[in-house]
Structure 1
């Protein structure tokens, strides 16, 4: 990759270098392949971004801080719990909880509001984008898109079809962004007696208002951290799985047929037996979701979330 940069610094060639880098990461799983790979990626991306910088492009917005609201919460609310308190009240009991003031030290809480900052670090990088309101609809699809195009379409023009950077390991692809967050200490807790450290998978969720993740469950512990924006989450216990009408197909067996925001008791009568818990995630909040707890997520504003999954 270095040869084409040295031999030909045309914009077309530089863009192709960025594409090759992303193809290698997205398809080849090159993360951690060699010592210093993160540093190399960061420097190479910085070089390409600076060379391709377009001062004539319309600036992106700075996302406003939403005024914090006092909202009803159906689950436990813990203010920056110690690891022991989290273990006792949440982890060991498999109970969800809203965690306050646990990520206030993240630089991302301020830096990422300025979408020009993300554009500068990663605008020329290619990522998988979900197109459509949610992945269970016939209209839903995925495309590989430049981050700069995604940001301009979704945050400067509200007339476009909803696109969502969802469940993507963005921070392996762009290590410079990972420097703005920290893995929460709660992720060191293990459900087994293994002495080896737990692998923590970090996912990015960036999109406009009204992105939806339909009611589904994940097999791992999940800490969903809200960098900016507001999300409404509806939870249901694994005990209610028989009442939640999971799809029969293997691909969607962890996803419910219900629209959790508008339950249809005539079509799905058993859903009337289920107990649902509502919570709103605001700037700087974290939601702990235990394994196999069902959750529906809807963005009530422009939103950037980071989730940490671990076994």
Structure 2
């Protein structure tokens, strides 16, 4: 069967993805269906066990994903994929497909239960870059009219230094329109919403999610009232819907082919992303509201008790609460030079690869971030 052959292709390495275990049922608008069982291996075909998650989509879109002409996450945000059941498992599908369609061979197989383990975070070249410089005491601010790509590269990319670029979104239609007008552009789009205690479950497949209309979520976020200790729901790190790309502008500071598709973040006051670090340079654009960042240099890795989801790195977090460090539990954290930065509407924060960052929204917030393929390696910058 053609659909089974395609499924075998795009999920061939699904068992290499941390936490990717279970039965996935695909139901197609053509009336066809298939099951994929992921354990130590991947089996495509009939399964007597009940499914953990059901994905409903068109046959044409499924084939297009296999041909790399359509993106699974963008199909979801456009409302062309419906998910029922274990949303946490569904969030791993893009990783599984990227791994399977990659031309790169896997040298180190990831254990399927690796999300239950924590490994010491490995060294990065960016740590040697920042350790060789005087400690950074403040994050500089530049007006976008005054910061050329050449100066940005020489003064911030090469030395691996964060910087705030003000008035950076003045040409963005999404920034210039009112919130009421912008919500209209989110009608018909859906998002994957983080619920429950997504901070303590960072990088775990046990995080709770739900699907919701993006426009409805924005309306509920605007009406949200603080008052208890529960984390507010958060539309965090969703793929920017393709229909919204005309409302933003790609930053001029890297070549266009160095950017990966941008991500969108929407939530009320009080959403939190705990201390972690990314594996590439990042430009974080604040469209609405204000966010408080706490930064720490890459070479503070051991002082921050940094951990990774895989022995070779993977996703990297920290045991330290950057807002309220517990020095009795983490005494070495007293050595860390934390930088506190406010990023307001219209600002763009450059976070070089390896910089640890903790983020809290101070008001209703909409952000767009641009990760890049720019990573520091000896002799490559």
* Counterpart in the other structure of 2:8: none
TM-score for the superposition, normalised by structure 2: 0.58
Matched, 1:145 2:145: no
How many Å separate the matches in 2 of 1:252 and 1:131?
23
| 1:81-128 deviation per Cα after TM superposition (whole angstroms, max 9, x unaligned) | 0011101110111101111122211111132622x532x333333321
Distance 1:214 1:176, change over 3 A: same
User: Following superposition of structure 1 onto structure 2, how do residues 176-215 of structure 1 map, counting pairs within 5 Å?
Assistant: 176-188=243-255, 197-215=257-275
* Counterpart in the other structure of 2:165: 99
How many Å separate the matches in 1 of 2:165 and 2:260?
19
How many Å separate the matches in 2 of 1:29 and 1:92?
37
Among 77, 84, 101, the residue aligned to 2:150: 84
User: Following superposition of structure 1 onto structure 2, how do residues 36-115 of structure 1 map, counting pairs within 5 Å?
Assistant: 74-80=138-144, 81-111=147-177, 113-114=179-180
Among 169, 187, 203, the residue aligned to 2:239: 169
Distance 1:98 1:29, change over 3 A: farther
How many Å separate the matches in 2 of 1:246 and 1:161?
23
Unaligned runs of 5+ in 2: 1-27, 31-55, 80-136, 374-381
Unaligned runs of 5+ in 1: 4-18, 46-72, 190-196
* Counterpart in the other structure of 2:368: 306
User: Following superposition of structure 1 onto structure 2, how do residues 115-130 of structure 1 map, counting pairs within 5 Å?
Assistant: 117-118=182-183, 120-130=184-194
* Counterpart in the other structure of 2:318: 256
Deviation, 1:296, is 0.6
TM-score for the superposition, normalised by structure 1: 0.70
Deviation, 1:134, is 3.6
How many Å separate the matches in 2 of 1:136 and 1:310?
27
Deviation, 1:178, is 1.1
Deviation, 1:132, is 3.3
* Counterpart in the other structure of 2:379: none
| Structure (1/2) with the larger helix percentage | 1
Distance 1:121 1:109, change over 3 A: closer
User: Tell me, what secondary structure is at the counterpart of 1:185?
Assistant: coil
**2:61–2:70 CA contact under 8 A, matched in 1:** no
Distance 1:295 1:123, change over 3 A: same
Report the number of matched residues. 250
Among 290, 293, 296, the residue aligned to 2:355: 293
How many Å separate the matches in 1 of 2:347 and 2:232?
24
Alpha-carbon RMSD across the aligned residues, in angstroms, is 3.4
